Amino acid sequence: MWVFGESFGGIFAPGLTWLFGAPGAALVYVAAGALIALPEHAWRTPRLGRQILAGLGLFLAGMAVLQAWPGRGFWQGISHGQPGTLAAMGRSMAQVPQPGFLSSWVNAFAAFDEAHGFAVNLFAVAALAVTGAVFLTGRPRLIRPVLAAGGYLALTRVPAPAGEQAASAAGSGWRELAGPAALRQRAASAGIRSVAAAGAVGVIILGAAPMAVAQASPNADPILAESITGSSAPLNYPAAGFSLTDQYGRAVTLASLRGKAVLLTGLDPVCTSDCPLIGQEFRQAGQLLGAQARQVALVAIVLNPNYRSLSVVRAFDLQEGLNRVPDWLYLTGSLAELQRVWQAYGLTAQDLPAGAMVLHNEQAYVIDPAGRVREEFGTDPGPGTAATQSSFAVMLADAARQALGSS
């Protein structure tokens, strides 16, 4: 789950941070499982505790580096007129059902970060770096004030059995331990536990590599989205025209958007599963476009035959923070008008019995400034992790840039 479901916790994906909970709580279970699998004699000396502390120190120091890395959006409280990465997450968290006083605290922090984004991030970087450095020193006097659960063994003197001390004193050098003969002997005598451990390490590396590549190369970021929905073949045909009403009651036609690239999808305003995630992907795509966002229209069409009023549409925008996104249009109209657009763009919306949510597909279209469809791809958010949201957002932003360049 941690490697494939959470994509290595998504910590390498753009816009993610230790402050958001990445690399995921499942990492605790991975570490606990590895510790439980150790043989009993590993717990009899302080060495294991010191290694745990050193590993925790390296982890926190690495999180400090990622938190300080330029371009990840944490140094700005406001970016392009919109809340920065951390402030936007705070606003989103405040919308989650919770006691009112908690929501007000989260909102207050988001507002503080918007006003003092640099100072907030500087504090986070310093706290992570200093704590990591303290754990790496291995000195009890420094560690005790920030003692973690795994540090107990490192700070407690446990006498090693005499037999083990003698064996340690008579131990061979590293050349003998790592030489070809020793390796062959170990391979021949390896048990199922060793083979399973080696396989687990291989699986973790397999899951981590794509995210590491995605972080190193922005062009590799959409790999998660493409693994969920598949890649899109280039298209080039006239987009079907429409005449609908936006969330503010203004008439909008496809012709009125001529000269801009259009990212178009269908969203159900009362959907509680995938549609809010897709809306966030579009919001993040707008942020990633930066100055080019003025040349791109982010357009959603109501995909529900029953709930399509302006008040419902605006409520969805407010809930997802889309009301603060420039060039965001959530279009609705009469059922007959919507059905014509659904049919033209292959969108489906089917009522289910017993008051269940409307069953609909999840498609997105990229329309260039000349009004021609250039790409079509699915927007199924898959597991809906922050990593997949970021990956879809990068894919959408890249598609918009390509559409601008193709016109």
In this prediction, residues 380-386 reach a mean pLDDT of 70
Task: List, for residues 103-124, the tens digit of each pLDDT value.
Answer: 888 888 888 988 898 999 999 9
Nearest to 390 by CA among 180, 88, 70: 88
User: Is a pLDDT exceeding 60 seen at residue 187?
Assistant: no
State the pLDDT at residue 42. Answer: 83
In tens, the pLDDT along 61-104 reads 988 988 888 776 788 888 766 677 788 777 777 776 678 888 88
Q: What is this structure's pTM?
A: 0.53
Read off the pLDDT of residues 206-249 as tens digits, 9 standing for 90 and up: 656 655 555 555 555 676 677 677 767 678 999 999 999 999 99
Q: How confident is the model at residue 166 (pLDDT cuts 50, 70, 90)?
A: very low
Q: Which residue has the tokens 């918009």?
A: 400
Q: Residue 125 above 80 pLDDT?
A: yes
Residue 151 confidence class, pLDDT cut points 50, 70, 90 = very low
Domains present along the chain, CATH in parentheses: 8-217 (no CATH), 228-406 (3.40.30.10)
- The per-residue pLDDT for 206 is 62
* Preceding amide of 23 cis, omega within 30: yes
pLDDT of residue 27: 76
The answer, yes or no, to whether residue 148 has pLDDT greater than 80, is: no
* CA-wise closest residue to 52 among 197, 159, 153: 153
What is the average pLDDT score of the chain? 79
pLDDT digits (tens, 9 = 90+) for 242-292: 999 999 999 999 999 999 999 999 999 998 888 998 998 899 899 888 889
Of 17-21, 144-148, 390-394, least confident by mean pLDDT is: 144-148
Q: Is the pLDDT of residue 149 over 60?
A: no
Q: Which residue has the higher pLDDT, 257 or 189?
A: 257
